[in-house]
Amino acid sequence: MPELQTITVFAAAALLFAVVPGPAVIYLVTRSVDQGRAAGLVSALGIATGTLVHVPAAALGLSALLVSSATAFTAVKYLGAAYLVYLGIRQLLDKETDDLNSTTAPRSLRRIYSQGAVVGVLNPKTALFFLAFLPQFVDPARGSTALQLGVLGVLLVGISMISDSCYALLTGTAGAWLRRRGARFMRRQRWVTGGIYVALGVSAAIAGSSGSGGSTAE
């Protein structure tokens, strides 16, 4: 199991990641604006369900990599940090903004849940982010790597669902206001999202550099 301090730091970083609007958040915000809070909450539940699929995949894959080569595992950590920085830079340079004024066809709550699950499963950025983010908080000396990755992955999904639910409640209530100011909201979130991704990547690289000597030697 991860140390309590590691879980605390991870939870803070996961919360920061969760509150940054990404594709899944934009999807559920649009659904909430169009169909209200219930639709947004069901979307959040569906997205969380789909995202859970990535937890065992990341845990088993990264654990197998560590068993085969500690050096390769460390390389994945640095590549993950670089990927976070890349995501941030690309977000900062992307001048295209989505329009929250567009409407979506009304769906039943069951259909909305299914669509949210598909969004969670088929989002390639989710899988790549798991591979980039989770290894930064794993200590092979603490025991089963798969267990650590599984605990952290489930915690990340739980925090993300809470954040998504808050988005659904707020935007479902303020639907008309957001429809009038959608473009301005999207421009601001681009800078916030890009800056946080870059900060996460740089901090992960620094943390990996300071701790690489002890873990890889063992």
> What is the per-residue pLDDT for 107?
67
The label of the residue with tokens 């925090």 reads 159
- Is pLDDT of 55 > 70? yes
Question: Does residue 125 belong to any structural domain of this protein?
Answer: yes
Instruction: Name the more confident of 195 and 150.
Output: 150
Question: Does residue 100 belong to any structural domain of this protein?
Answer: yes
**93-141 pLDDT per residue, tens:** 876 544 555 555 566 888 889 888 887 887 656 776 777 778 888 888 8
How would you class 105 by CB atoms within 10 Å of its CB: exposed for 0-12, middle for 13-18, buried for 19 or more?
Answer: exposed
**75-84 pLDDT per residue, tens:** 766 776 777 6
Helix 23-35 and helix 109-122, axial crossing angle in degrees, nearest 10: 170
Rg (CA), the chain: 18
- Measured between its terminal Cα atoms, the distance across the chain in Å is 18
Q: Residue 101 gets which letter from DSSP?
A: T
Question: Does residue 113 belong to any structural domain of this protein?
Answer: yes
Q: In the predicted model, what is the mean pLDDT of the chain?
A: 75
Question: Does residue 204 belong to any structural domain of this protein?
Answer: yes
Q: Locate 74 and state its tokens.
A: 């460390």
Question: Does residue 218 belong to any structural domain of this protein?
Answer: no
Percent pLDDT > 90 in the chain is 10
Confidence band, pLDDT 50/70/90 cuts, at residue 159:
very high
> What is the per-residue pLDDT for 217?
32
Question: Does residue 216 belong to any structural domain of this protein?
Answer: no
Instruction: Name the more confident of 54 and 179.
Output: 54
What is the domain range of residue 138?
4-211
What pTM value is reported for the model? 0.65
Q: How far apart are CA 134 and CA 152, in angstroms?
A: 7
**181-191 pLDDT per residue, tens:** 655 655 666 67
Confidence band, pLDDT 50/70/90 cuts, at residue 176:
low
Question: Does residue 147 belong to any structural domain of this protein?
Answer: yes
Number of domains the chain is built from: 1
